[in-house]
C-alpha cells in the first residue's frame, strides 16, 4: 500500500470566509506545503509553520502523521500546483496553481495534468493506493465540478458553519463567466475541471483512472472533495470498484449529502470515527465542534488504522504526542 498525498492551491481559497485552512492569504498558500512536510518528516521543514486555525484546531495532517507513525506506510506527494516551495519530496505532473473559479479558465492545465497523472497511476507498481488531498478552498471547487458534471450540488466545509451560500455564489459566478449551466460538462470531465475545478481534482482523478486501469485498488481518502474526484472518474467512463474513506465528522455533516453522493456514484463509503469525545485535548475539542473535519487523507488514515487492528485509543494517544511535538503543549 502506498499513501499518495495530492497537494496544491487555488486562488478560489482567497474568497473571504470560505476556508478554515490558514488565517491569512500567506497561510492559505503555505498550508499544503506545510502539510506535506508534516506527513513526510513529522515536522515543518521549509515552510516554517504548523497550520493551526485561529481557534486552535490543528491541521488534519497531525492525525494522518500520527497514524503513519504507528503503521509506517510509505508516502508519495504529488505536486498539484503548490505556490510555496515545500521541503517534502514531490512528483511533478505539470500542474500550476489554480486561479479563482469566478474567472475564465482557472485550470488551463487540467487535461494535460490528468493525462500525466493517469500515466503515473498506471506505472506505480503498488497493488493498492490510498489517495488524500490538501488544497485550501477545495470544497468550493469541488462544488463547482459537481455542478458542472450535473451531480448532486452538496459539499462539506472545514468551518463549523458551512458557508454554503458563499460557495454557491462563487460557483454561480463561475458558471456565468464560463457560459455554462449545471450539467453542461457531464460528458467532458477535463473541461469541468478546467472551467470550475482545481488542479488537485485533475491530479487525483487522473491518478485514480490510471491506477484502476492497471488493476490497482484505490481508496480516495477524504470527504466531498474526493467524492468530486470520484465523480470525475465516473464521468471519464471508469466504473471499477472505488472506495471513499472519510471521517465521521464529514459523514455527520448535515449540510453535505455524503452518503447520497457516494450512492449516486456507486462508490463504497467507509466512515471512521476516531472517538475524539473520549479524549481530552484542545485538538479533539475543535474537531468535535465541527472544524477541519477532514483533509490530508485523515479519513483514509483512520480507516487504515482500523483495518490494521489499531485501536482508536492508540491513535488518539499518538495524535496528542504529535500535537505536543509540532504545536507545543496544550494551552
Question: Which residues make up the interface to a copy of itself (CB under 8 A)?
Answer: 40-43, 45-46, 72, 76-78, 85-92, 119-120, 123-126
Report the alpha-carbon distance of residue 199 to residue 111 in Å, rounded: 10
211 vs 262 by CB, closer to a copy of itself: 211
87 vs 150 by CB, closer to a copy of itself: 87
The helix/strand/coil state of 40 is helix
**Shortest reach from residue 92's CB to a copy of itself, in Å:** 7
**Shortest reach from residue 204's CB to a copy of itself, in Å:** 16
**Shortest reach from residue 37's CB to a copy of itself, in Å:** 9
Name the region of 179 (left: φ>0; alpha: ψ -120 to 50; beta: rest): left
**Shortest reach from residue 68's CB to a copy of itself, in Å:** 11
Spatial contact of 121 and 216, defined as CB atoms under 8 Å apart: yes
48 vs 183 by CB, closer to a copy of itself: 48
**Shortest reach from residue 44's CB to a copy of itself, in Å:** 8
**Burial class, 308, CB count within 10 angstroms (exposed 0-12 / middle 13-18 / buried 19+):** exposed
Q: What is the DSSP string of 117-133?
A: HHHHHHH---SEEEEEE
* Strand ranges (E), the chain: 2-8, 74-80, 90-92, 128-134, 217-221, 243-247, 268-272
56 vs 87 by CB, closer to a copy of itself: 87
**Shortest reach from residue 80's CB to a copy of itself, in Å:** 13
Spatial contact of 50 and 20, defined as CB atoms under 8 Å apart: no
Own/partner pairs, 310-314, CB within 8 angstroms, 24+ separation: 310/67, 310/70, 310/71, 312/273, 312/274, 312/275, 312/278, 313/275, 313/278, 314/70
120 vs 256 by CB, closer to a copy of itself: 120
55 vs 123 by CB, closer to a copy of itself: 123
Report the alpha-carbon distance of residue 328 to residue 306 in Å, rounded: 27
**Shortest reach from residue 28's CB to a copy of itself, in Å:** 22
113 vs 257 by CB, closer to a copy of itself: 113
What is the rounded (10 degree) CA torsion for 216, 222, 223, 227? Answer: -20
Amino acid at each position: 500500500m502506498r499513501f499518495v498525498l495530492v497537494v496544491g492551491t487555488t486562488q478560489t481559497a482567497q474568497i473571504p470566509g470560505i476556508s478554515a485552512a490558514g488565517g491569512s492569504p500567506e497561510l492559505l498558500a503555505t498550508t499544503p506545503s506545510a502539510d506535506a512536510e508534516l506527513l513526510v518528516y513529522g515536522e515543518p521543514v521549509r515552510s516554517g509553520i504548523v497550520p493551526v486555525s485561529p481557534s486552535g484546531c490543528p491541521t488534519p495532517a497531525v492525525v494522518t502523521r500520527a497514524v503513519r507513525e504507528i503503521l509506517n506506510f510509505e508516502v508519495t506527494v504529488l505536486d498539484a500546483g503548490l505556490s510555496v516551495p515545500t521541503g517534502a519530496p514531490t512528483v511533478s505532473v505539470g500542474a500550476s496553481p489554480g486561479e479563482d473559479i469566478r474567472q475564465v479558465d482557472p485550470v488551463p492545465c487540467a487535461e494535460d495534468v490528468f493525462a500525466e497523472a493517469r500515466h503515473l497511476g498506471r506505472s506505480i507498481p503498488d497493488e493498492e493506493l490510498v489517495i488524500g488531498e490538501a488544497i485550501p478552498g477545495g470544497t468550493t471547487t469541488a462544488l463547482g465540478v459537481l455542478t458542472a458534471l450535473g451531480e448532486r450540488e452538496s459539499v462539506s466545509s472545514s468551518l463549523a458553519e458551512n458557508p454554503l451560500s458563499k460557495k454557491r455564489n462563487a460557483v454561480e459566478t463561475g458558471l456565468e463567466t464560463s457560459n455554462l449551466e449545471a450539467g453542461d460538462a457531464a460528458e467532458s470531465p477535463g473541461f469541468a475541471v478546467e472551467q470550475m475545478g482545481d488542479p488537485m481534482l485533475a491530479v487525483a482523478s487522473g491518478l485514480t483512472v490510471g491506477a484502476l486501469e492497471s488493476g490497482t485498488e484505490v481508496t480516495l481518502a477524504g470527504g466531498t472533495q474526493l467524492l468530486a474526484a470520484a465523480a470525475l472518474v465516473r464521468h471519464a467512463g471508469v466504473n471499477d470498484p472505488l472506495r471513499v474513506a472519510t471521517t465521521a465528522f464529514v459523514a455527520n455533516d448535515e449540510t453535505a449529502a455524503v452518503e447520497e453522493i457516494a450512492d449516486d456514484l456507486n462508490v463504497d463509503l467507509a466512515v471512521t470515527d476516531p472517538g475524539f469525545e473520549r479524549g481530552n485535548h484542545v485538538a479533539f475539542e475543535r474537531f468535535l465542534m465541527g472544524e477541519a473535519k477532514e483533509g490530508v487523507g485523515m479519513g483514509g488514515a483512520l480507516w487504515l488504522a482500523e483495518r490494521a487492528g489499531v485501536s482508536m485509543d492508540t491513535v488518539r494517544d499518538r495524535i496528542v504526542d504529535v500535537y505536543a511535538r509540532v504545536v507545543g503543549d496544550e494551552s
